[in-house]
Chain A
Amino acid sequence: MQDIGEAFRLALSLVLSGDADLFEIVGLSLQVSLSATLIACAIGLPVGALVAVSRFRGRGAVLVLINALMGLPPVVVGLLVYLYLSRSGPLGFLGLLYTPGAMIVAQTILIVPIVAALSRQVLEDLHGEYAEQFRSLCLTRWQSITTLLWDGRYALMTVGLAGFGRAAAEVGAVIIVGGNIDHLTRVMTTAIALETSKGDLPLALALGIILLVIALGVNAGVQMLRMSAARQASLGAAHV
């Protein structure tokens, strides 16, 4: 086992020298997780908005289900996606297994419930404020939903961020459906797992540092967006 300080030094030099392998892995990670986040928002935001503005029988059960799905264990999702995408599985003809596509599918499934549940909460609060005005204006459900999504955009950005964070950080699902194949499906988390088990701590640490920086950077970016929006808007909007 190497000295930790030595490992850090090597890791930093890897990052600073722009190591090609390292940045290929980082690039694929971002590509997969951002795609999954976009798809999950496209599905989860309308679902969250619809549940937020609707009163129907079984709504409570739907809420419990969505909240429960937030805690889906990644390895279980990975296993299910694997079963569907494997050559003998129902979607095997797609040939997605061990490709970035499969990883996007798995991460999307993992974070759709997060986006739906968190956006439902955000939009329901907003709807509580707007509902009477909407009814007075006789808005259709569609008009209500699109208005809530737009007016809640800054809060929803943090919802998307939470989804991205979970997607980028998870390892169990992508390692099963992606296989951690070098130059093809190796992402930051699977590489860290592999390099650590191989004892190549500098690469693992370098990736870990980048993962942290990305998480911090995205958070800071969204925070800045929210703050500039709040400055433009009112003091009240800062609490949204």
Chain B
Amino acid sequence: MSDLSDLRMTDAVRIPRRRAAYAPSLPLLPLRVSGLRLDIAQGALLDGVELTLPRHGCTVIMGPNGAGKSILLKLLHGLLAPSAGSVSWNGLPATEATARQALVFQKPVLLRRSVAANLDFVLKARGGDRARRDALLADVGLAHKARQPARSLSGGEAQRLALARALATDPEVLFLDEPTASLDPASVQVIERIVGEACARGTRIVFVTHDIGQARRIADDVVFLHRGRVAEHSAAAEFFPEPQSQAARDYLAGRIVL
């Protein structure tokens, strides 16, 4: 389905660029989360989340459906306000932190315009270089779809466009919420390579996935969420062979997580 000749790397995601809108003086990381809670009327969706992320690397967040992974990403990115506790990006103001990050949503939200125009929009709004658009599209294998209305893309294509759009903002932290959930195997490889390269040049990656093989390939550390709490946070090298929590053991073994 996807044209493999389009799935090659180009310079668009290799060249490190600084964002024009913010000239960051201080690094965004480390991230310190303490006592984080999010309540709704029926109870707490997240509770007592403690988390420290070092400056570099790729953190994978795992956990069963409804554990609170997407909610946690939105809290970290500053889209939701916590009911209690704090999210501190190296002490920087929350709005600045949001502006220096990007989030690829679990359900891509694309504008009612062409594929190319979706990228132009972000490049323009964030003061980026519009000339990068074609290279970004080629990176995610959508060069041949540039003129097509974005909302007529297939599920996997839409996710790849959402990733290209996130990269277009040159984020220092890139949140990805199951970005390969509906991709074919070749596209999964491409996305993992793009994300890996971004990580290698210093972009902090926070990646939610249910794909255990993928998590093994990309994770430096794993946060395991269970019922709105961090059940476990450990280095990937320790997590996969010897998960500490019962919930993580069940999850990795493919059992129902109670």
Q: Are B152 and A130 in contact (CB under 8 A)?
A: no
Number of A-B contacts (CB under 8 A): 52
**A76 at the B interface (CB under 8 A):** no
A221: Cβ under 8 A from any B Cβ? no
Of B101, B109, B113, B151, which is within 8 A of A133 by CB?
Answer: B109
A139 within 8 A of B: yes
Task: Decide yes or no whether A3 CB sits under 8 A from chain B.
Answer: no
| Known pairs A132-B105, A233-B151, A233-B152; A151 contacts B111 (CB<8 A) | yes
Interface pair B121/A234, CB less than 8 Å apart: no
Among A130-176, those with CB < 8 Å from B are: 130, 132-133, 135-139, 143, 147, 150-151
Residue A236 contacts which of B105, B111, B122, B151 (CB distance < 8 angstroms)?
Answer: B151
Is A135's CB under 8 angstroms from B98's CB?
yes
Interface residue tally of chain B, by bracket? 20 to 34
Chain A residue numbers with a CB within 8 Å of B32 are none
A94 CB-CB contact with B under 8 Å: no
Q: Are A136 and B149 in contact (CB under 8 A)?
A: no
Q: Are B95 and A234 touching (Cβ within 8 A)?
A: no
Nearest B residue (CB) for A132: B79
A240 in the interface, Cβ–Cβ < 8 Å?
Answer: yes
Q: Does A213 lie at the interface of the complex (its beta carbon under 8 Å from any beta carbon of B)? A: no
Q: Which of A132, A150, A151, A237 has the most CB of B within 10 A?
A: A132
A150 to B112, CA, bound (A): 9
Contact B121 A138 (CB under 8 A): no
**Apart from A143-B125, A237-B151: 17 A-B pairs, beta carbons within 8 A:** A132-B79, A132-B105, A133-B109, A135-B78, A135-B98, A136-B77, A136-B102, A136-B105, A137-B125, A138-B98, A138-B99, A138-B126, A150-B113, A232-B149, A234-B149, A236-B151, A237-B112
